[in-house]
Amino acid sequence: MMSQPTISEPMSETSTGTTSTSQAAKVTPPLKLDILRIIRLCQQQHGLRHGDYQRYRSFCSRRLRRIRKSLEATYGNQKKFQKPVITDELVAKDSRYLLLPLICSERAWAYAMQLKSEANTEARKKFHLLNRLRKAVKHAAHLENLCNQQKTCDARTKLEVQAYTAVMNGHLKFELQQWSNALEYYVRAQTIYDKLKTGVRSEEDKLMLDQRIDEITTNVRFCQYKSGDKNAAKELRNLRTKAALDDPEMTRVLDAFLSETHEQQTSSIAEITWRQRKIQVSSEKARLFFLNLQEFETEIKKPGVSFDTKMSLYESFLKEAVETSQVIKDELKNDPTFKPTPASAAPADNAKRENTDRLSDGVWLYSYIAWIRLSKMIERNLAMIENGKQQVFRSVDGEKTDVSGGKKVTKAADLIRMYDLLLQFLNDIVAIPALQNDKTIQSDVNFQTIVYKACRSFYIAISFVQQKRFKDSAALVNKTETYMEQAKKLAASGQQPKSSEINYQTLLNEFTFIQSKLDEVKYQIQTSATSTPTPAGSVSPKVGAIQQSFDEVLSPEEQKELEKKPLIDRLETYFEDLSLTNKNRLNVVSLPPPFKPIPCKPVLFDLALNHLTFPSLDDKVQSKRQAMSTLSDRGQQQQAGLTGFVKGFFSWGAKKQ
């Protein structure tokens, strides 16, 4: 009994010595986890680029299931529930165990953000939102504990986990409106990310950290503003114009700040003046809209604002304009003076219109908001047209356009669509109830319609040139010149009303760019038409409409040759044929028309049928007749048996013979 320990002791010493040497020879790799990179890539690829939190939450659930299945860390089986416990030993064996609390925290946070968007209509979801944020904080704290207990975990991973936990705690305190505590957590996370930025070499990681710091800075400024810092309000307004287009969370926080500050200023807007009419503003939604209009005009006119930022500002403002217009329209359901007229049924100039003096303040307010909305939509489309002009002419000239940035290249068809929308917006302006009798608006709309029709015809001609439809493009070039002359005469005639809100001469500057390109398009049409081979039997486009589109006069010999032909055979060539004015000498068509060979319908005659001898089928006919007679005899017997049975059934009282 005593000999066993003595024997086992040297053996244990040798075994421990061998294991220590093997552990020294085998170095354990450090535990790393790029938390910010993981969550950023997942968020951008699965819905958060467009603010779809439900899609991101579903992705987190699917990924959790895949990780648990691969690690065999499921919740028991169908018969028994067993919650898997993540220990330090499991994390040391496989670092994927750290992804479980991280993805759980992301899923809870995404669910909370989804509930926040739904809590505007259902107030009870606010409590569910707070519970999900507490769950996210719990999972983030669990992740931090696991990383701190691992000796092999590197310092960068621990710092990222601490920053992530601080951000989640800040979100929870932010929703609880504990501004000082939220500010403390956000500042802690911001400090950690600033330290991490100093040790990063790749530009991609620096950009990712900058975006994260910008998000936290927005929340920090908002918490400072709520805590009483007045300087934070100015910084928040500046951040609104620089908000990232793919960051809905930052935009949401800034919009909440702007709406709150506007609510404090709405009491100052009780009356507005438009078209020499004072309008009482009683709706709170309308007051907020006019305050946002002032902010929008200030931000859009700032120097250095990029095109994408302008489009983002236009989209957010127009969305609010549509909502406000719908609210005012719902309030006018019982107003007898409100009769909305669709643009397609807009009254004509000579039609009887309702007197605008009888309209109520609500109708005037609705008309003003509708006019603002349509005016801003016209401004947005003009900005988009101005941005896409150069790309169209690069493709026409054969130059290669740069599509490496992933942006859509503007084509002539896109500009045509934008001008169609402009004409539609102008028709909608005429149909606004308070503007149906306004002659100033009507004259402005008529002039703008002529200008935009000229631009639309020009870009349709460009599109036809790209499609090698040179005859159609030449006709549209002439139409463009006609519209341009008409607009110039109208501007030079001095018919512009004094109260007009547009400058006719400034609007004619649209023709400067078109006029500079019009001659190039003409020469390109002529060159392409003459160099393009024409099929046999067809008239060359140079002799047809394209040659005559640019005021080229035919010689007398050519005119005499053309006079001999009927009008139907020379429709592509125009000249003043005096013979067409004489009823006795009309040469329109040739009568009778010339014969044309046409394929005739074939007629088949079966001439061999009468000379064929077919085989005899008498034996088959006789056998068929016998079978039919047999079947008829059986049917008669069955019928007789049935009638006899019925007669016997009813003949119990008959006398037997």
- Does residue 71 sit within a domain? yes
Query: 419 or 612, which is more confident?
Result: 419
Which has the minimum average pLDDT: 123-132, 389-398, 411-420? 389-398
Instruction: List C-alpha distances in Å: 460 to 137, 418, 463, 467, 574.
Output: 59, 12, 5, 11, 23
Q: Is residue 565 domain-resident? A: no
Residue 557 falls inside a structural domain: no
* Judgement on whether residues 498 and 521 belong to the same structural domain of the protein: yes
DSSP letter string, 61-114: HHHHHHHHHHHT--S--SS--------HHHHHH-GGGGHHHHHHHHHHHHHHHH
Q: Are residues 86 and 166 in the same domain?
A: yes
Shared-domain flag, residues 283 and 414: yes
Identify the pLDDT of residue 24.
Answer: 41
How much is the pLDDT for 474?
A: 86
Average the pLDDT over 261-271 and give the result.
Answer: 63
For the beta carbon of residue 505, count every other beta carbon within 10 angstroms: 11
Assigned domain for 555 exists: no
Residue 132: how many other CB atoms lie within 10 Å = 22
Residues 251 and 366 in one domain: no
User: Any idea what the CATH number is for the domain that residue 245 is in?
Assistant: 1.10.3450.40
Evaluate whether 561 touches 569 at the Cβ level (below 8 Å): no
Residue 59: pLDDT band by 50, 70, 90 thresholds? very high
Whether residues 214 and 303 share a domain: the answer is no
On whether residue 77 sits in a domain, the answer given is: yes
3-state secondary structure of 372: helix
Query: Of 264, 289, 313, which marks where a domain is finished?
Result: 264
Is 260 in the same domain as 300? no
Among 84-98, 165-179, 203-217, 628-642, where is mean pLDDT lowest? Answer: 628-642
Query: Is the Cβ–Cβ distance between 386 and 364 less than 8 Å?
Result: no
Q: Residue ranges of the alpha helices (H) in 231-306?
A: 231-241, 248-263, 284-300
- Same domain for 485 and 469: yes
Beta bridge partners, 252, equal none
Q: Is the pLDDT of residue 214 over 70?
A: yes
At 657 the pLDDT is: 44
Assess whether 381 and 425 both reside in one domain: yes
Total of domains in the chain: 3
Mean pLDDT of 560-575: 82
Q: Are residues 89 and 170 in the same domain?
A: yes
Residue 429 has pLDDT above 50, yes or no: yes
Domain hosting residue 253, numbered range: 35-264
Q: State the Cα–Cα distance between residues 25 and 12, nearest whole angstrom.
A: 20
Average pLDDT over residues 258-277: 68
pLDDT at 7 over 80: no
Let me know whether 131 and 240 are in one domain.
Answer: yes
Q: What is the pLDDT of residue 111?
A: 94
**Statement: residue 339 has pLDDT above 80:** no
Question: Looking at the domain assignment, is residue 367 inside a domain?
Answer: yes
pLDDT 10s digits, 511-532: 877 887 787 888 877 777 666 5
pLDDT of residue 124: 85
Please state, rounded to an integer, the average pLDDT across all residues of the chain.
77
Of 475, 497, 529, the last residue of a domain is 529
Quick one: pLDDT band at residue 426, thresholds 50, 70, 90?
very high
pLDDT tens digits for 367-385?
999 999 999 999 999 988 8
pLDDT at residue 5, rounded to an integer:
39
Q: Which of 7-11, 128-132, 204-208, 585-589 has the lowest mean pLDDT?
A: 7-11
Give yes or no: residues 365 and 443 share one domain.
no
Across 145-159, 286-300, 490-504, least confident range: 490-504
Domain boundary among 495, 529, 563: 529
> Is residue 538 one of the residues assigned to a domain?
no
SS3 state at 600: coil
Question: What pLDDT score does 547 carry?
Answer: 40
pLDDT band, very low/low/confident/very high, at 355 (cuts 50, 70, 90): low
**Whether residue 288 sits in one domain with residue 253:** no
pLDDT tens for 307-321 read 888 888 899 889 989
Span 73-97, average pLDDT: 81
Q: Is 633 part of any domain?
A: no
